[in-house]
Structure 1
Amino acid sequence: MTWEEILPEIGRRAATFMLDILLFVFLWPWPYDFCFGQQHGNPVAWRRAVGFRDREVVVRRSRQWSENMGDVVNDGEDGTNAARSYFLARVSIATSPMVLGDKTGYVMMDGDWDLDWGAMIDATEMVDKKMAAIEAFTLVILVHQDDWGWLVVDLKGEALAQETGRRRQIYAFRDALTNIGKEDLFYRWIEIVQFESSQPGGFSVERQEKTALQIRELFLKDGINFDQFWKDSVGTDSAMGI
């Protein structure tokens, strides 16, 4: 064979070899894990074990972002815990009503979370054997720490803390209005917010903007700049009060 014939043949074989490598590295692991994955189970084994049901237990596990997260229990010398804040931020997004309400387990897989098929099989077996009610798996968050083992995360505590802080802001605002003899404005403000938020269609962005304008005009009639008064009495942006 001449070089004119050898070189094209080498090029074709090299291209075929590279294509085989790409398919093996990037494409082959997916069908293999789908059918035969062992580390966290696989969809085929899960479906065969669970079958098709009206209600199914979905278990998600974090991807690489949590591997070097650090201690989420102890606060640092400055009284803060960046690892815990980072973890709770990721979990809060993943467990928001918008995510959990209308999505199947497959749709909840993303760059941060994958499905743990083995754990889903185990949880379903617990339900079938009456070891736990399916309602017990409505929202359970677990995190593993080398120093602490498995921990249960209670997001209700975070929500309660936020609610308590919000209540304190409202009381501070009420007291500030009472001190200047404008307590009636406080109750009229409450009435407006409750009325608008209970209207059909929910408290949409447009309705919130309308309510904010209505409240500002109400306070302005009494010579009070709502935004500035809220900031002076509560210490946060006025948007928190509308």
Structure 2
Amino acid sequence: MTTILMIEDEPALVRILRSYLEQAAFQVETAGRGDTGLDMWRAIQPDLVLLDLNLPGMDGLDVAREIRKQANTPIIMVTARVEEIDRLIGLELGADDYITKPYSPREVVARVKAVLRRASSIQKRANFLQTGDLSIDLDAHLVSRNGEIIDLTPTEFNLLVTLAGYPGRVFSRLQLLEATQGTAYEGYERTVDAHIKNLRAKLEINPKEPQYVETVFGVGYRFSRSG
């Protein structure tokens, strides 16, 4: 059974979301503090983390940062923080999605399923992409440059596969959202910029002069044919 770890300090929300997630056939574990949530993540290695940002014990952003140091577990941040900068910081830390309160529990379940589908589809694709010194093994979910492994989150990996699968083709931000999230959420186009920034920081020798992922100003991004 797929396990969801919910790190949330509002008991009413925990009860509601647990009920909806269990009805969707997920196993749900919960923690009410950031520090205990991080300990629980280490102990049970869940398939996905639903992470609040305003937590006692340890801030949610710090929890996400620690998880990303050790693994690529999909993370959905759930928070009352509505400022765009908070969302972008969360995405830059490697979150796969971001939901603001108040929200529909059904939407949360839908987002959980979408993120898990993306992670699963990455594992199931049977293919291998090679461009210049960059190798992308879709079966093993591995990216390497000159034999050195590059550690990507599921969203970053799916974004790279989408772009590298069609070198030279320009993708708009909405198209990339559709490809990587399954649904193009209006108003979230800038989340792609955050993921691209993360991807370049890991992929490019010099992120300020990208060799692989190029910006097409006013349109979106493309993967360089020359790589």
Instruction: Report TM bin, short chain.
Output: under 0.3
Structure ranking higher in helix proportion = 1
TM-score of the pair, normalised by structure 2: 0.23
Which of 1 and 2 has greater Rg?
Answer: 1
